[in-house]
C-alpha cells in the first residue's frame, strides 16, 4: 500500500493551524498512524488508528480520516513542533510509511 | 517502563557480516512483536521486518527479504538484525520498535534509540 503525504514541506508561523494530509493507494479503514521525528531524534507516535491521541501527546495534535484520506492537524503551532511528520499504515503487511512532511517555523 | 536498548554504532567494510541487537525490558518479550525500521541518511522510514519472539514467527518486507535476517533469543529478551555481506547502500540508522498491544499490525509505540551502521571501504 502506497501512502502519499502532502505537502512534502511547509513553513508556518507560531500559532498557525497546520494540516498535513496522507492518501492511501487503497482502502485501509482507520489503520493509519502518525509519527513525529525531530532532528536527530527517534520517531515518536502521535496518533494511532487515525484519530486516537497517544498518551502524553499535547492535545493540539489531532487526526482524522477513514478509507483512503487522512489528516493530521496541529491546532496552534508551537516552536517545539519543528519536525518531520510521517504517516504509516498497519492494515496489511508490509507496513508502509509515507515519504514524510518537513515542517519549519516561518 | 518499556525499554528497547540497541547496540552501539558500527563501522564495517563492504562484504563484512554484522549482527545488531535490541534488548527489551519492562514487558513480556515473548508476547509482543518486534519490528525493524531503516532510515537512510536524510531519508524517510522503511519497515523491514518483524518477529514474534514467542515462536520466532518472522515476516519481511519484499524489499528486504533475502537481504537481512531477523532473529530473537527469548532467553535474554533480545532481538537481532543481521547481514551476511554488507553493501555501502546498507549505511543507515536502524531502529527496533514494538507494535502496540502485542499485535503484529499496530502502531509502533516504543522505539529503540537506533543503531547507526556505516559501510565504507
Name chain A contacts of B57, Cβ cutoff 8 Å: none
Check B35 against A95: CB less than 8 A apart: yes
Q: Name the band, by pLDDT with cuts 50, 70 and 90, for residue A22.
A: very high
In the block, which residue shows the cell 531503516?
B38
pLDDT digits (tens, 9 = 90+) for A57-100: 999 999 999 999 999 999 999 999 999 999 999 999 999 999 99
Name chain A contacts of B63, Cβ cutoff 8 Å: 94
| Average pLDDT of the residues in B8-20 | 98
- CA-nearest residue to A39 within chain B is B42
Q: How many angstroms separate the CA atoms of A18 and A72, rounded?
A: 8
Q: How many angstroms separate the CA atoms of A27 and A30, rounded?
A: 9
- CA-nearest residue to A90 within chain B is B105
pLDDT digits (tens, 9 = 90+) for B88-103: 999 999 999 999 998 9
Collapsing DSSP to helix, strand or coil, B84 comes out as coil
How high is the pLDDT of residue B31?
Answer: 97
Which of A95, A96, A97, A102 should we substitute to test contact with B (largest number of B Cβ atoms within 10 Å)?
Answer: A95
Q: Name the band, by pLDDT with cuts 50, 70 and 90, for residue B76.
A: very high
Collapsing DSSP to helix, strand or coil, A4 comes out as strand
Q: Name the band, by pLDDT with cuts 50, 70 and 90, for residue B87.
A: very high
- CA-nearest residue to B98 within chain A is A45
Check A100 against B35: CB less than 8 A apart: no
How high is the pLDDT of residue A52?
Answer: 98
CB proximity under 8 Å: A 17-36 to B:
31, 33, 35
Q: Per DSSP, what are the bridge partners of residue A33?
A: A88
User: Distances in Å between the alpha carbon of B10 and those of A19, A102, B17, B19, B90?
Assistant: 38, 28, 11, 10, 12
Check A42 against B100: CB less than 8 A apart: no
Chain B nearest C-alpha distance from A98 (Å): 8
Q: Measured at the alpha carbon of residue B77, what is the angle toward residues B115 and B48, in degrees to the nearest 5?
A: 45
| Average pLDDT of the residues in A7-21 | 98
CB proximity under 8 Å: A 44-83 to B:
44-45, 48-49, 54
Counting other chains too, the contacts that B64-69 makes at CB distance below 8 Å and 24 or more residues apart are B64/B38, B68/B36
- Please choose, from the candidates B37, B79, B27, the residue with its C-alpha nearest in 3D space to the C-alpha of residue B57: B79
pLDDT digits (tens, 9 = 90+) for B21-74: 999 999 999 999 999 999 999 999 999 999 999 999 999 999 999 999 999 999
Residues 6 or more apart whose Cβ sits within 8 Å of residue B107:
A33, A45, A48, A49, A54, A88, A90, B99, B100
How high is the pLDDT of residue B95?
Answer: 98
Amino acid at each position: 500500500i502506497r501512502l502519499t503525504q502532502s505537502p512534502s514541506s511547509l513553513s508556518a508561523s507560531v500559532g498557525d493551524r497546520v494540516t498535513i494530509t496522507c492518501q492511501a493507494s487503497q482502502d485501509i479503514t482507520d489503520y493509519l498512524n502518525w509519527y513525529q521525528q525531530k532532528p536527530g531524534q527517534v520517531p515518536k507516535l502521535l496518533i494511532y488508528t487515525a484519530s486516537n491521541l497517544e498518551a502524553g501527546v499535547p492535545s493540539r495534535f489531532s487526526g482524522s480520516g477513514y478509507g483512503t484520506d487522512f489528516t493530521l492537524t496541529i491546532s496552534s503551532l508551537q516552536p517545539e513542533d519543528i519536525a518531520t511528520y510521517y504517516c504509516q499504515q498497519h492494515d496489511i503487511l508490509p507496513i508502509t510509511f509515507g515519504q514524510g512532511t518537513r515542517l519549519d517555523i516561518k | 517502563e518499556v525499554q528497547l536498548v540497541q547496540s552501539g554504532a558500527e563501522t564495517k567494510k563492504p562484504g563484512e557480516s554484522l549482527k545488531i541487537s535490541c534488548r527489551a525490558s519492562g514487558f513480556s518479550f515473548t508476547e509482543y512483536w518486534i519490528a525493524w525500521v531503516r532510515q537512510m541518511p536524510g531519508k524517510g522510514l522503511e519497515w523491514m521486518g518483524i518477529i514474534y519472539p514467542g515462536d520466532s514467527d518472522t515476516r519481511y518486507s519484499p524489499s528486504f527479504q533475502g537481504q537481512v535476517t531477523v532473529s530473537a533469543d527469548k532467553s535474554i529478551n533480545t532481538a537481532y538484525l543481521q547481514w551476511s555481506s554488507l553493501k555501502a547502500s546498507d549505511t543507515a540508522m536502524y531502529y527496533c520498535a514494538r507494535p502496540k498491544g502485542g499485535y503484529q499490525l499496530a502502531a509502533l509505540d516504543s522505539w529503540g534509540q537506533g543503531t547507526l551502521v556505516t559501510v565504507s571501504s
